């Protein structure tokens, strides 16, 4: 850190296709409790995980353009799909720090595995992109990876069914091949999946380490803000603002439960205008 006490009160901008990115927000709140945060959930266009690269890049650019109207100092792409498909492009388009979740999540898994078998679960688009497997191979080519797309997990989470028998049976079906293969580490490669942590952990059993990439992503955010002298060391009550592109009621309900803090208001944004 350059100065002794940085005070940059501008918020950190965070986006995802829906509720999932709140798993990253929760981690930001825990690790960087002085930071102001603006969250955008693109609920009108969820899911991202079944869309083409071009569409995901277009959506990501629009989300960042909206967040820039909020005077943000950095962007966290709290979406594995957008991090896998759009991170490189948006870094070229915008001139501010932009942090994705894939590289930090991969680094965390490489440190955690003992038997060198890392399972990856994510959306169709994330799995097809091979982003995690590549990031892991760059860090340690000796580690084996296997990936499974779990397309039904996102609607289950958005529906508020994370801790139900439906979630459990769905998880059993998706995760069986990774269990049989003997993965000792499993990357929750979609920001919605930490909301299914209990269910996934019950299915995988106590000997499998579940990696929530949000944890290491926020370490990276902290490092980058420190380096740029952009932390907010001001101990005033931080401000959290939420926006969505469609119906906010469910977002508020499930989001408040998950964050253990009430989302009183979520503004509606016409994202196609950005």
Known catalytic residues are 79, 190
Residue nearest ligand DGL (C-beta atom): 49
Residue closer to ligand DGL by CB (options 76, 175) is 76
Question: At closest approach, how far in Å is the CB of 83 from ligand DGL?
Answer: 8
- The answer to whether the CB of 156 falls within 8 A of the CB of 162 is yes
Residue 147 binds ligand DGL, judged by CB under 6 A: no
Q: Could you say which residues in the range 201-220 bind ligand DGL, by CB under 6 A? A: none
Q: Does 62 bind ligand DGL (CB under 6 A)?
A: no
Among 36, 162, 191, 209, binds ligand DGL (CB under 6 A): 191
Q: Candidates 30-38, 43-51, 196-204, 261-269 — which segment interacts with ligand DGL by CB under 6 A?
A: 43-51
Least distance between ligand DGL and beta carbon 125 (Å): 7
Pick the closer one to ligand DGL by CB: 11 or 21. Answer: 21
Burial of 15 (0-12, 13-18, 19+ CB in 10 A): buried
Q: What is the DSSP string of 118-154?
A: EEEEE-HHHHHHTHHHHHHHHH-TT-EEEEEE-TTHH
The answer to whether the CB of 8 falls within 8 A of the CB of 32 is no
Three state DSSP letters for 223-250: HHHHHCCCCECCCCCCCEEEEECCCCHH
The verdict on 47 binding ligand DGL (CB under 6 A) reads: yes
Cα–Cα dist 2/137, whole Å: 34
In DSSP terms, 267 is beta-bridged to 243
Q: Is the dihedral of CA 100, 105, 106, 107 positive or negative?
A: positive
Does 192 bind ligand DGL (CB under 6 A)? Our answer is yes
> Where on the chain is the footprint of ligand DGL (CB under 6 A)?
16-17, 20, 46-49, 79-81, 123, 126, 154, 190-192
């Amino acid at each position: 850190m350059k100065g002794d006490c940085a005070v940059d009160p501008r918020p950190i901008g965070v986006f995802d296709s829906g509720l999932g990115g709140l798993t990253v927000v929760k981690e930001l709140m825990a690790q960087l409790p002085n930071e102001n945060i603006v969250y955008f959930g693109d609920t009108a266009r969820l899911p991202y995980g079944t869309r083409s690269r071009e569409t995901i890049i277009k959506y990501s650019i629009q989300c960042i353009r909206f967040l820039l109207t909020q005077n943000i100092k950095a962007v966290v792409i709290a979406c594995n799909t957008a991090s896998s498909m759009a991170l490189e492009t948006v870094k070229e388009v915008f001139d501010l720090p932009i942090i994705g979740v894939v590289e930090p999540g991969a680094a965390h898994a490489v440190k955690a595995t003992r038997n060198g078998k890392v399972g990856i679960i994510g959306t169709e688009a994330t799995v097809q992109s091979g982003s995690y497997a590549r990031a892991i191979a760059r860090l340690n080519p000796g580690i084996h990876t296997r990936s499974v797309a779990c397309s039904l997990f996102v609607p289950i989470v958005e529906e508020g069914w994370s801790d139900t028998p439906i979630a459990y049976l769905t998880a059993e079906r998706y995760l069986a091949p990774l269990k049989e293969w003997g993965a000792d580490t499993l990357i929750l490669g979609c920001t919605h999946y930490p909301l299914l942590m209990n269910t996934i952990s019950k299915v995988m059993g106590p000997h499998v380490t579940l990696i929530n990439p949000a944890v290491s992503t926020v370490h990276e955010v902290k490092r980058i803000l420190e380096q740029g002298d952009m932390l907010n060391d001001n101990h005033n009550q931080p401000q959290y603002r939420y926006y969505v592109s469609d119906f906010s009621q469910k977002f508020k309900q499930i989001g408040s439960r998950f964050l253990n803090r009430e989302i009183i208001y979520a503004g509606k944004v016409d994202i196609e205008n950005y």
